[in-house]
Amino acid sequence: MLLLVLCSSGCSAFEDEVDDRSIPVVGFQVETQTSQSVRFLVTGTWTDTCGTFSRFETSRSDRAYVVTMYGARPAEARVCGDAITTISATWTTEVPSAGAYTFQFRREGAAPLDTTLVFEGG
């Protein structure tokens, strides 16, 4: 009974379902860049202590990439602390040809974070 009372003020309990959703990107950095590829370390936020990285979804139109980061709360996560936590993961892509490319990392309800990189080609 005491645990239930303590947890009710700072924890959340969940059903047997996986919560998988896009998460806002709060930062990124280029880890490596070659003449035809780039690897970013991307950091997003999750609304409790049980979130983990799920996947990236990417779309490309000409020389612009839009990257959406997803997180998930595993079904076995029964009780989670109510604290915003960060989740980091690497995203890598190859560009089809030399030139300048823009990479936009989506943030819910805000303008995307973006950067433009120049690739020499191979």
pLDDT in tens, 36-53: 999 999 999 998 888 899
Share of the chain above pLDDT 70, in %: 84
Residue 122: the pLDDT is 61
pLDDT at 68: 96
Average pLDDT for 93-104 = 97
Query: How far is it, in rounded angstroms, from Cα 6 to Cα 13?
Result: 13
pLDDT band at 79 (very low <50, low <70, confident <90, very high): confident
pLDDT surpassing 90 at residue 118: yes
Mean pLDDT over 85-102 rounds to 96
Query: Residues 16-30: pLDDT tens digits?
Result: 556 788 999 999 999
61 vs 75 pLDDT, higher one: 61
CA pair distance 95, 119, nearest whole angstrom: 8
Comparing 21 with 60, the larger pLDDT belongs to: 60
What pLDDT is recorded for position 73? 86
Mean pLDDT of the chain: 86
